[in-house]
Structures are given as C-alpha cells and as structure tokens.
Structure 1
Amino acid sequence: MEPFATSTLFRVAIGPFALGSFTSCTGLGCTVEYEERREGGLNGHVWRLPTRVSYSNVVLTRPSTRETAAVAQWVSHQVARPLRVTGEIVALRPDRRPLTRWVLDGVAPARWQGPSFSATDSAPAIETLELVHQGFLNLPG
C-alpha cells in the first residue's frame, strides 16, 4: 500500500488548451436525486431509485502566472465560439508526479475572475476559474 500522499498543485487542460497549474481545486463532486416507489404488498419497504445526477461547479484558484493569459485566451475563445469539450484535472505530488486525475465531460467556463493588483497590498494577485461540466469520464486502464 502506498503511503498517504499530498497534492500541492492541480494541472488543468481543457481540450487543446493547457491552462497550467492551480494551487486550489474545490467542487469535484455530484449529487444524486432519488425517487421513492412503494410496491403493493411490501408495506415495510420503500424502493429508492436514482433519477438524476447533478455535478457541482469546479473552482480553481492560483496566484497570477504567465499561464493567466492562457486562461483568458480560452475564456475568450469560448465566448466567441462556445464548445463543450473534455477537460482534465491532475493532482500533482510535491515532486510534480501525478497523484490522481479527473476527466470531465462537456467542460465550459462558468466564471473567470482575473487577478486584482494593489500597490499597497503585498499579497499575491489571485485568479479564479470556475468550470461547469456534464460529468466524469473513466480513463482506460
């Protein structure tokens, strides 16, 4: 068994666009709705059947880097010609080897907040990218 490993970065690619590494990734999840069905003669049992799955938005953040321009370019490309494509988020170990990955179907931008700059603030300029998607895809192997 492999010892517990931590991730320090999340590498993101959407279709042909390599968007670089992000320091935070939240929202990888889904919610399954269920419908209850009662069957005649089974008074002590209610069937709970799955009906819909909804996927939460994925929110990625990082300090502004050279790759900030790649995100702005991808968002501009999507505004001009919207196209939902496959995206990949790879959690990287401290030595930059992949820890785990998620492949998202039908990715599109929900929101991008570019960095804010202030001469009086010594904090790094942070950008935020929020993605919508239609679900997770399995990787072969």
Structure 2
Amino acid sequence: MSLASNARLGLAMRFQVAVDGIDLGGWRSCKGLAVTFENETFIDGGNYDAKSFLPKCVDYPPVTLQRAMTAADSARVQQWLAGLVENWVNGYGVYRGGTAQITLLDSMGTRVSSWSLRNVLPRSWRGPELDAKGAEIAIEQLELVHEGFL
C-alpha cells in the first residue's frame, strides 16, 4: 500500500480526552478501544459440514487511561470525580453516565478519527505509588466503563 504524499496519519501518541465537554488533559496511553461481537454457534441437525452463527451480544471492554501527573490536568480529573461522588453520595440526582470523546490527531493536530463512548462512568482512579527510594515519574490511571461507541 503506498501512501499519498499528503496523507495525514493518526499518531498513537497524539490524542485528546474529554467527558461531557470537560477536557481531562493529555494522557500517555489509552487502552481498551475495542469491540467484540459475540456469536452463538448453531449446527443444523444432519448437516455435518457447515455451521451457522447467530448474533449474541456486543461487548466493549473498559478504557484505561494513564499519564504522568501534572497539577492542572490531574486537578481537572479530581474535580470531575469529586462532582460525581457528590452527586452519587449526597443524592443530588441520578447520573446515568456522560459521553467521553477520545480524538486521535495527526502530526499537525488535526482530527483523524474519534470515538464517542456512551454512558461513561468511572470504574477506578489510581494514583501514583510513592517511594522515597525511587526515581520514577508519578503516574495516574483512570479506568472508564461505557456502553459502546458504535
């Protein structure tokens, strides 16, 4: 496959994440953008050389985001999570999940593709492992469950 000289390829390290229009900042990695089409195998009686497949369900795994912690970006995530906790715990309403937008960019910052995850809810947030003997960068992780992007 040859590429046109003006082809703009999506770069795996250039993407944006927002939930309900709230920019959650830049992330180092995004894993779990996938869909599995589950099927039931059906074998007709007396037909020994063929199988039929019936659609069963569509499954979307959780999306896991990781990045180095920064003051501004990490604060936005904490504010978003705190708002959800306040809503859930204090009963200010029922939050059925928002829409997360993950946008893949090219080298010029132009949108190449995007995924709109329906009814997104946080499954977990994990902060860095702190160790005075280490020299690692502090990494945070946010895991989101959703009802799909197709």
Q: Distance between the aligned counterparts of 1:41 and 1:35, measured in 2?
A: 18
Displacement of 1:18: 1.3
Q: Distance between the aligned counterparts of 2:145 and 2:131, measured in 1?
A: 30
Task: Identify which of 44, 50, 63 aligns with 1:45.
Answer: 50
> Which structure: greater helix fraction?
2
The one-letter code matched in structure 2 to 1:8 is M
The alpha-carbon distance between structure 1 residues 33 and 5, as it changes in their structure 2 partners (threshold 3 A), is: closer
1:114 aligns with 2:89: no
5+ residue gaps, structure 2, are: 88-94
State the partner residue of 1:32: 37
Could you tell me whether the CA contact under 8 Å between 2:10 and 2:105 is conserved in 1? Answer: no
Could you tell me whether the CA contact under 8 Å between 2:8 and 2:107 is conserved in 1? Answer: no
> Which structure: greater strand fraction?
1
State the partner residue of 2:104: 91
Task: Identify which of 48, 56, 59 aligns with 2:61.
Answer: 56
Q: Distance between the aligned counterparts of 2:129 and 2:96, measured in 1?
A: 28
Displacement of 1:73: 1.3
The one-letter code matched in structure 1 to 2:79 is Q
1:136 aligns with 2:149: yes
Could you tell me whether the CA contact under 8 Å between 1:107 and 1:132 is conserved in 2? Answer: yes
The alpha-carbon distance between structure 1 residues 9 and 3, as it changes in their structure 2 partners (threshold 3 A), is: closer
Q: Distance between the aligned counterparts of 2:51 and 2:12, measured in 1?
A: 42
State the partner residue of 2:74: 68
Q: Distance between the aligned counterparts of 2:104 and 2:8, measured in 1?
A: 16
The structure 1 segments of at least 4 consecutive aligned residues displaced by more than 6 Å after TM superposition are: none
State the partner residue of 2:23: 18
State the partner residue of 2:91: none
RMSD value over aligned CA atoms?
2.1
Displacement of 1:88: 0.4
Q: Distance between the aligned counterparts of 1:110 and 1:30, measured in 2?
A: 18
The one-letter code matched in structure 2 to 1:23 is R
Q: Distance between the aligned counterparts of 1:60 and 1:101, measured in 2?
A: 15
Q: TM-score if structure 2 supplies the norm length?
A: 0.78
Could you tell me whether the CA contact under 8 Å between 2:17 and 2:103 is conserved in 1? Answer: yes
State the partner residue of 1:123: 136
5+ residue gaps, structure 1, are: none
Helix, strand or coil at the partner of 1:78: helix
Number of residue pairs the alignment of both structures matches: 137
The alpha-carbon distance between structure 1 residues 43 and 120, as it changes in their structure 2 partners (threshold 3 A), is: closer
